[in-house]
Amino acid sequence: MIGLEQYKEKRSFKKTPEPEGRIVNDKKYRFVVQRHQARQLHYDFRLEMEGVLKSWAIPKGVPLEPGIKRLAVQVEDHPVEYIDFSGEIPDGQYGAGTVRIWDRGIYEIDNEEPGYLGITLNGEKLSGGYALIHTDKKNWLMIKRKPVRDMNIE
Ligand SMILES: [Mn+2]
């Protein structure tokens, strides 16, 4: 088990010069949002995860303001190379239409539980905390989380 609880329990950081410390999560993964003008316009949100791109189609796009919920329909995992794809999918092919990269950047996982994924995005357009909440079957809701006030400032 990984954690600093035992380390912290044994020490009083007001009295010892030892570092209180925090768990360092230096793993940075990429995300992309592709604007996909297919038969129906939608935005494909993809997270680099476990060697693939976990993917959701969001008809109304990624929410930009806290509190707005957007339906995000999980679709099949895509290959990591798809993160750079921009182009025309020919008529008659699956998803025929135009794909353009709408935003890209890196993300961190803040919290992962069954049916819940809390992430922080750091892109060119999108930034801050988001949550993906599983509702049923392939349906998830994507919500921009409200900024958390810095607890250390008094
Ligand atoms: Mn698509």
Q: Flag whether the pTM goes above 0.85.
A: no
Confidence of residue 11 (pLDDT cuts 50, 70, 90): very high
Indicate whether 112 belongs to any domain.
Answer: yes
Indicate whether 20 belongs to any domain.
Answer: no
Provide CB contacts within 8 A for 86, sequence distance 6+: 34, 99, 100, 101
Q: Cα(44) to centroid of ligand 1, in Å? A: 5
Closest CA to 149 of 129, 125, 132: 129
Count: domains in the chain: 1
Q: Cα(97) to centroid of ligand 1, in Å? A: 9
Amino acid 5: pLDDT = 84
Indicate whether 64 belongs to any domain.
Answer: yes
Indicate whether 19 belongs to any domain.
Answer: no
Indicate whether 3 belongs to any domain.
Answer: no
HEC sequence for the chain: CCCCHHHHHCCCCCCCCCCCCCCCCCCCEEEEEEEEECCCEEEEEEEEECCEEEEEEECCCCCCCCCCEEEEEEEEEECHHHHHCCEEECCCCCCCEEEEEEEEEEEEEEEEECCEEEEEEEECCCEEEEEEEEEECCEEEEEECCCCCCCCCC
Q: Cα(125) to centroid of ligand 1, in Å? A: 19
Q: Cα(47) to centroid of ligand 1, in Å? A: 14
Indicate whether 62 belongs to any domain.
Answer: yes
| % of the chain with per-residue pLDDT over 70 | 91
Summarised one tens digit per residue, pLDDT across range 59-85 is: 999 999 998 999 999 999 999 999 999
Average pLDDT over residues 127-145: 97
Domain that holds residue 32: 25-144
Q: Measure the CA–CA gap between 86 and 17, rounded to whole angstroms.
A: 53
Indicate whether 18 belongs to any domain.
Answer: no
Confidence of residue 29 (pLDDT cuts 50, 70, 90): very high
